[in-house]
A and B are shown apart, each in its own frame.
Chain A
C-alpha cells in the first residue's frame, strides 16, 4: 500500500486535539485502501458520471477570448450537479464514510456550495447530515441554506467571531471532537490536518485530468497558463495537479483581495506572505497578528472569506511552481457581470476572481480557467450592491 503526504515542504501536519488523532489515522487507512479498491473507484466514477454529470465540458469562450485578445478555455465545473466542483470531493468522502461505517456526516461551508454538495450526497447515500455555516453567510447565501434544508440536512448557524467560514470550520471540528465515534467530517477544501489536504486534492484532480485530455484533443497541446481562484484552494489544486510536472505550464492561484491587500480587509494570505501559522489543524500561510492570534479575513465572496489556505499551496508558492495574486471585491464584481454579458454564463463570485485576473492578465498563448461554480446563489447579494 502506498502512502499519502502529511507535509508539503514545511507545511501541513496534524495540529488537532488528541481525541481526533485515531480518527485521522482511521481515515487515512480507509482512503489508502479505497483508492486501490476497484469497486470503490468504479462506484465513485459511476456516480460522478451518472449523478454528477462528468466529464464536465471544456468550453472555448469565443467572446471572452476576443475581449482578452488571446485564446481562453473554461473548464465548466459550474455544470457539475449542485453547481460547483464541490460535488467531486463530497461524493468521494461520503462513499468513504459509508465504507467506514459512519452513519453521520458533518461539514463546514462558506458560500454554501460545499454544504449543498454534502447534503446532496447524504440524501443519495442515506446518511445523516449536519452543516455548520457562519451566521453572516447564512444571510448572504440564503438560497443555499434553503437547498440544504430541502435536501434533509440540519444547518447550524454559527454566531462566533466574524460569523463566516473560519468559525464554521471551528464549530465543525468541535462537533467532530464530540461525536467522532459515529461521525465523518467531510472537510470541503484542501485544508485541515493530514490526510485531508492530500485526500481532497486526490478527489478533485479529476478536474485537471479531464481538462488536460480535452485540451489535447481540441488543440493538441498543453495550456500556457492555468488560472483558478483560491480560498482553501481545492478547485485550484484540482486543476493544477495534472500540470505540476509540466514546467512550461504557468499556474496562477487568485486570492480574495477584498478591499485591497494594503488594508487588513482581504483574504489573501499567500499573496501577502508573512510568517506561516497553524489554523484548523495544518501549518500553512495564514493571516495572524504578531503573537499568533488568527485575524478575520474579508471578501465579498463567502467561499474566499478565509484567513488560511491549503498547505500544498504554500509549498507551491515557496518553490515557485505556482504564483498567487489577489483580485479586489470591485474587480471580481465587474468580472461577474462581464462574463454574464459576454458568454451567457453567470459565475460564482469566487470564480469571478479568477475571471477578473484573466481579463487583466498579460498575454499568453492559451489560458485554461477553472470555472469552479455558478453564481445563482450570489444574485441577491450582487443586485443589492448595484
Chain B
C-alpha cells in the first residue's frame, strides 16, 4: 500500500471505534498565510485528516458559503501554487486530502498535477466534478504516485453504480449525506443510517459522511449512525469569514466537534 493511502488508513484506524474528524478549509481564505494557521489550529484541536479546498472560479458542488470564500480567496490572489504550499506545511502533521475541481486537475494534465501534489506530501485528492466515468486518467496518476483518489457517492447513486464506485475507492468513500450542494442544514440525522449502510456495504475502505453536517450533535449522530469519518466544511468556513481571528474561531469549533465525537 502506498504512503498516502497508508496514512489515511492509519488515521481512521487510530480513532476506531470512534469516528475520525475531518475538517474542510478553503486554501487561501481569507489569505494563504491565515489558511495555513487555520489548518494548524484544526490539527491542534483534534483533526484526524484535513481536507484542503482549492479555490475555483466555478464550484458547481458548493453552496453559497464555500463559493463566496473561493471567490474572495481568488480576489485576494490565491492560486494553486500557494494552496499547495499550505498542503506542504500541514502534511507533516496530518494527512492532507486536496479538494480540487476537475478543470484545474486537467489543465496541466492529470499526471503533472498529481505528481506536483504528491511532492507536497499530501495523501489524497477529491475531485467533486469527476464522476466514475471520467476518472480513469486521474485514478491512474494517483495510483502511480501513491495518492488516494477519493470518490463521492450521493443518495441518488443507484446500488449497482454504488458498488462500482465503492470497489474502486481509495483512502475512503466520501458519502454525501443529502441531495444538494455543500452547506449547513437543519438536522436530517434520521437519514444518515440508511445512507451510510448503503455506502458501507459497497466498499472495503472507511466511509466518511459529509455535506450538511455542522454541529457537534450532527457529527455525533453521523458517528452513531456508523460513519467512520465526519466531514465538516461550510460551518468552519463561515467562522473563518466572520471572525476577526479565523484560526482561533475555527480551532474552537473543531475542538467542540472533537469533544462530541470522543
Chain A positions near chain B (C-beta within 8 angstroms): 13-23, 160-161, 166, 170, 173-174, 177-181, 275, 277-281, 283, 286, 288, 290-295
Instruction: Assess the B129–A278 pair: CB atoms within 8 A.
Output: yes
Instruction: Assess the A15–B102 pair: CB atoms within 8 A.
Output: yes
Given A13-B134, A170-B60, check contact A18 B176 (CB 8 Å).
Answer: yes
Instruction: Assess the A17–B152 pair: CB atoms within 8 A.
Output: yes
- Among A14, A21, A179, A291, which residue has its beta carbon within 8 angstroms of that of B157? A21
Instruction: Assess the A22–B156 pair: CB atoms within 8 A.
Output: yes
A-B contact sample (20 more), CB < 8 A, given A16-B60, A277-B106, A292-B108 = A13-B134, A14-B134, A15-B130, A17-B152, A18-B153, A19-B154, A19-B155, A21-B132, A21-B156, A21-B157, A22-B157, A275-B107, A278-B129, A279-B58, A279-B103, A280-B58, A290-B107, A293-B57, A293-B104, A294-B57
The complex places the Cα of A177 from the Cα of B128 at a distance, in Å, of: 12
Instruction: Assess the B131–A14 pair: CB atoms within 8 A.
Output: yes
Instruction: Assess the B60–A17 pair: CB atoms within 8 A.
Output: yes
Ranked 10 nearest A-B pairs via Cβ: A292-B107, A292-B104, A19-B154, A178-B180, A278-B103, A17-B61, A293-B57, A292-B103, A294-B57, A18-B152
Residues of A close to B155: CB separation below 8 A? 19
Instruction: Assess the A281–B179 pair: CB atoms within 8 A.
Output: no
**Binary A-proximity of B52-68 (CB < 8 A = 1, otherwise 0):** 00001110111100010
Instruction: Assess the A294–B156 pair: CB atoms within 8 A.
Output: no
Residues of B close to A23: CB separation below 8 A? 156
**Binary A-proximity of B99-133 (CB < 8 A = 1, otherwise 0):** 00111111110000000000000000000111111
Chain A residue nearest to B62 (CB atoms) is A174
**Binary A-proximity of B152-180 (CB < 8 A = 1, otherwise 0):** 11111110010001000000000010011
Q: Is the interface of B mostly helix, strand, loop or mixed?
A: loop
Instruction: Assess the B106–A292 pair: CB atoms within 8 A.
Output: yes
The complex places the Cα of A304 from the Cα of B144 at a distance, in Å, of: 42
Instruction: Assess the B134–A294 pair: CB atoms within 8 A.
Output: no
Chain B residue nearest to A292 (CB atoms) is B107
Chain B residue nearest to A293 (CB atoms) is B57
B71 at the A/B interface (Cβ < 8 Å)? Answer: yes
B74 at the A/B interface (Cβ < 8 Å)? Answer: yes
Total contacts A-B at CB 8 Å: 113
The complex places the Cα of A275 from the Cα of B128 at a distance, in Å, of: 22
- Among B67, B74, B108, B161, which residue has its beta carbon within 8 angstroms of that of A21? B161
Instruction: Assess the B156–A19 pair: CB atoms within 8 A.
Output: yes
B80 at the A/B interface (Cβ < 8 Å)? Answer: yes
Chain B interface category by residue count: 35 or more
Residues of A close to B103: CB separation below 8 A? 15, 277-279, 286, 288, 292, 294
Min CB distance, B148 to chain A, in Å? 17
Residues of A close to B133: CB separation below 8 A? 13-14, 21
B6 at the A/B interface (Cβ < 8 Å)? Answer: no
Instruction: Assess the B102–A19 pair: CB atoms within 8 A.
Output: no
Chain A residue nearest to B183 (CB atoms) is A178
Chain B positions near chain A (C-beta within 8 angstroms): 56-58, 60-63, 67, 71, 74, 79-80, 101-108, 128-134, 151-158, 161, 165, 176, 179-181
Given A160-B67, A292-B103, check contact A177 B80 (CB 8 Å).
Answer: no
- Among B60, B132, B156, which residue has its beta carbon within 8 angstroms of that of A174? B60
Instruction: Assess the B134–A15 pair: CB atoms within 8 A.
Output: yes
The complex places the Cα of A292 from the Cα of B181 at a distance, in Å, of: 22
Min CB distance, A182 to chain B, in Å? 11
A-B contact pairs, 15 of them (CB 8 A): A13-B134, A17-B128, A18-B151, A18-B157, A19-B154, A19-B156, A174-B63, A177-B181, A179-B179, A278-B102, A278-B106, A279-B58, A291-B80, A292-B103, A293-B104
Given A13-B134, A174-B60, A294-B58, check contact A160 B181 (CB 8 Å).
Answer: no
Residues of A close to B107: CB separation below 8 A? 275, 277, 288, 290-292
Instruction: Assess the A291–B79 pair: CB atoms within 8 A.
Output: yes
The complex places the Cα of A17 from the Cα of B129 at a distance, in Å, of: 4
Instruction: Assess the B156–A180 pair: CB atoms within 8 A.
Output: yes
Residues of B close to A22: CB separation below 8 A? 156-158, 161
Given A18-B154, A21-B131, check contact A293 B74 (CB 8 Å).
Answer: yes
Residue with the greatest number of chain B CB neighbours at <10 A, chosen from A18, A19, A160: A18
Min CB distance, B101 to chain A, in Å? 8
The complex places the Cα of A161 from the Cα of B71 at a distance, in Å, of: 8
The complex places the Cα of A289 from the Cα of B185 at a distance, in Å, of: 34
Residues of B close to A281: CB separation below 8 A? 60, 129
Residue with the greatest number of chain B CB neighbours at <10 A, chosen from A16, A19, A21, A170: A19
Chain A residue nearest to B154 (CB atoms) is A19
Given A170-B60, A293-B57, check contact A17 B106 (CB 8 Å).
Answer: no
Residues of B close to A181: CB separation below 8 A? 156, 179
